[in-house]
Amino acid sequence: MDALSSPELNAVLHQPVRTRIVAYLAARGETTFNELKQALEITDGNLDSHMKKLVSVEYIQSKKQTAKKGKQQTLYYLSEIGRHEFENYIETLKRLLSPQFLP
């Protein structure tokens, strides 16, 4: 890619819901499915499909935690790869907003 060509955006992250999921996790640390659903205000099915996509590319990892009464709780967090890709994605967005790419 030369200096004047459009920078390439990460296809996985360049999707509004997935961007919001990753941004939320970057700030929050770890969270449950329910909390994510409330924060994003989307349906279970919609969130589930995007989570599956992010887990499949290893941007998001999960771990089990035993809650009260022995109930298992799944916590989701951003992996090192996910954090790195998210930072690169933000850099790319910033470059797109630089004067050379503005109409």
Q: Should residue 57 be labelled a site residue for another protein when binding is judged by CB under 8 A?
A: no
Q: Should residue 102 be labelled a site residue for another protein when binding is judged by CB under 8 A?
A: yes
Q: Should residue 42 be labelled a site residue for another protein when binding is judged by CB under 8 A?
A: no
Q: Residue 37: CB partners within 8 Å, gap ≥ 6?
A: 43, 44, 47
**76 secondary structure, DSSP code:** E
Q: Should residue 61 be labelled a site residue for another protein when binding is judged by CB under 8 A?
A: no
Burial class from Cβ neighbours inside 10 Å (0-12, 13-18, 19+) for residue 76 reads: buried
Q: Should residue 26 be labelled a site residue for another protein when binding is judged by CB under 8 A?
A: yes
Given the rule CB under 8 A, which residues bind another protein? Answer: 6, 14, 16, 19-21, 23-35, 39-40, 65, 67-69, 71, 73, 75, 90, 93-94, 96-97, 101-103
